[in-house]
Amino acid sequence: QVKVVQSGGDSVQPGGSLTLSCTVSGVTDSSYCMGWFREAPGKKREGVAAIGPDGSANYADSMKDRFTISLDNAKNTLYLRMNSLKIEDTAMYYCAVETRCDVSLFVRGLYGLGTRYTGQGTQVTVSS
C-alpha cells in the first residue's frame, strides 16, 4: 500500500521561505515520479516540480527560479524549498507519487497514464 504523508506548510510574509516535506512508502513500481502540485480557489491545478524516474529535477517554468525540489533516498522523503514567496503562491500544496510517469505532464499539472497517489495536502499562505 502506497502512503504519502506530508508535513510543513505555514503562513509567511511575502519574500519569506518555507520547506515542505513528504515521506513516501510502499512504492513498488520501477518507474515513477515524485513531485508537488498546488491548488488554489478559483485557479487551475498547477504543477510545481517533480523528480522524474531518472532522478532529474523538473520544474514548472514559473517556479524554477524560486523553488527547489530534492529527494533524500535514505529517508524516502521529498522536499520542496520555496524562496521569495509571493502572495500568488498561496495555495494547498500536494505531494504525489505517480507510476508510469511522464514528468513533463506532471509539471504542467496534468495526469499521465499511471496511478497517482497523493498526500493529504498542506496549506501555504503568503500574506502581509
For 65-108, the pLDDT digits (tens) are 999 999 998 999 999 999 999 999 999 999 999 999 899 999 99
For residue 8, the model assigns a pLDDT of 87
Average pLDDT over residues 32-54: 94
For residue 30, the model assigns a pLDDT of 75
Nearest Cα to 22, choosing from 125, 117, 127, 126?
117
Per residue in 22-36, pLDDT (tens digit) is: 999 998 887 899 999
Residue 56 has pLDDT above 80, yes or no: yes
For residue 29, the model assigns a pLDDT of 80
- 100 near 114, Cβ under 8 Å? yes
For residue 66, the model assigns a pLDDT of 96
